[in-house]
Structure 1
């Protein structure tokens, strides 16, 4: 009889309260996990509609899910009577230590997130950033890969890119080609200018609006320099620059207009020797 009463007392004192706490902790964990999944999936759909990078969406979803699940676990442990204050302090200290030891990596990570969110460039653009220039191959969380014109792969930390000027040559649909053409001082200036205008009008790649510009820019040491500034589609920039430079030389040769090269005149003075 005594043992039965003692067993009943233990059940009432320990087993039932602990069983209730465990049941509530499991309910909190299960329901919390379901709620976290719903929130993360909803966030992913919203970010996908905003056309954010797939890698960024996946990474942010993982971070938010981990943080929310941490709160769910802490709430479940608190229901079991575990002192969560000390647990939170331990997590905070561990996070601070990890953050200090990975300062550079966190800087690159933050810069990578900003690059993926604000999109100063995208894959395929030709940019100058982080001390290098090339076509963007891949934008990662910590680094960005470039392909140089001579087909070398360059991997640049995102912190270096976002902490410096970024020049995106592919961002605009059109670009202005800046060229300098020099003629000799004894050549016909007006004729050379008309030839340059005629060549610009004949090339179909050159846009009519904005209108191309031809003007005398400098009376240099050995040449009269023209600035030639046509507007083209960005994809035609280099082809037009190379083709037009070659065409100018061939046309000027045909028209008898000289293109000077650097030279120096040396004058010798002969002195009469004394008798």
Structure 2
């Protein structure tokens, strides 16, 4: 017992210094945990306010909390004299190795986060992205599920979607139907325009505002091309497109408006020997 007392008397300052360092490390760890929780809650509220998926929010919050907590532990260990340089080097090397091994997956993950945060499209939208056209069924962290018009399910990596242009056909409530109707040069141009106007006016799906337009677009090699551009609701686009083409063909046939089509004239030349015979 006397030896222990002697040891404490002789090393009083050293022990006191270690105790202060230990207390400081505990305080740093405690404050770091509070900061980590505060940042996590702040991030969670911000993401939920932007209507980000709850699963994604929980994942991101856990990552932020883990990063701050690791930094806090390293600071606490450094305070009590532990050399953290080797730990940081090991963590950096491990992170680099994991990053190289999962390069494609990390790119898809980052792209998924961007899609969820900036919301260029949502489930139910018809889009053209990643060389695929279809209706978005589900947006996931690494991939997006789409259904094509012919009822095929296509799973597209998120990096492929964000790596190119994204065309969202459902984002706007109205769309313009662009049709090019060709008539022959000997057809009555004014009558053709009048018939087209009647077809569009009699279609309840064609909007009055914005108004449709019918203009001569080009004097082509074998036809006079009319640009017919009605405005419709996005949901009616394809029905109006197909129905209008059918009505134009039937009406023009009935009124004698010619619709030109490619033709080829074949001239037969008899051999001279055959002609002498």
Q: Same fold (TM over 0.5)?
A: yes
Provide TM-score, normalisation by structure 1: 0.85
SS of the residue corresponding to residue 149 of structure 2 reads coil
- In 2: Cα distance, 1:185 partner to 1:267 partner: 25
Q: CA deviation at 1:40?
A: 0.8
- In 1: Cα distance, 2:225 partner to 2:177 partner: 16
Structure 1 segments unaligned to the other structure (5+ residues): none
- In 2: Cα distance, 1:179 partner to 1:10 partner: 97
Larger deviation, residues 180-189 vs 148-157 = 180-189
Asked if 1 retains the 8 angstrom alpha-carbon contact of 2:50 and 2:117, the reply is: no
Larger deviation, residues 146-155 vs 209-218 = 209-218
Residue 263 (structure 1) aligned with residue 260 (structure 2): no
- In 1: Cα distance, 2:237 partner to 2:209 partner: 16
Provide TM-score, normalisation by structure 2: 0.84
1:23-82 CA deviation, whole Å, 9 max, x = no partner? Answer: 664554444324322321122112222333434423321221110111222233334432
- In 2: Cα distance, 1:273 partner to 1:77 partner: 108
Larger deviation, residues 41-50 vs 182-191 = 182-191
Give the direction of change, closer, same or farther, for the CA distance of 1:273–1:71 in structure 2 (3 Å limit): closer
Asked if 1 retains the 8 angstrom alpha-carbon contact of 2:29 and 2:72, the reply is: yes
Residue 84 (structure 1) aligned with residue 84 (structure 2): yes
Larger deviation, residues 9-18 vs 134-143 = 9-18
Q: Residue 7 of structure 1: which of 4, 10, 35 is its match?
A: 4
Give the direction of change, closer, same or farther, for the CA distance of 1:265–1:153 in structure 2 (3 Å limit): same
Q: Which residue of structure 1 aligns with residue 228 of structure 2? A: 228
Q: Which residue of structure 2 aligns with residue 99 of structure 1? A: 99
- In 2: Cα distance, 1:247 partner to 1:125 partner: 29
SS of the residue corresponding to residue 261 of structure 1 reads coil
- In 2: Cα distance, 1:139 partner to 1:88 partner: 35
Give the direction of change, closer, same or farther, for the CA distance of 1:273–1:43 in structure 2 (3 Å limit): closer
Question: What count of residue pairs does the alignment treat as equivalent?
Answer: 272
- In 1: Cα distance, 2:86 partner to 2:263 partner: 82
Q: Which residue of structure 1 aligns with residue 54 of structure 2? A: 54
Q: CA deviation at 1:20?
A: 6.7
Q: Which residue of structure 2 aligns with residue 248 of structure 1? A: 248
- In 1: Cα distance, 2:55 partner to 2:151 partner: 25
Asked if 1 retains the 8 angstrom alpha-carbon contact of 2:130 and 2:161, the reply is: yes
1:194-216 CA deviation, whole Å, 9 max, x = no partner? Answer: 00011112222222233211122
Structure 2 segments unaligned to the other structure (5+ residues): none
The within-5 A match list for 1:20-31 is 25-26=25-26, 28-31=28-31
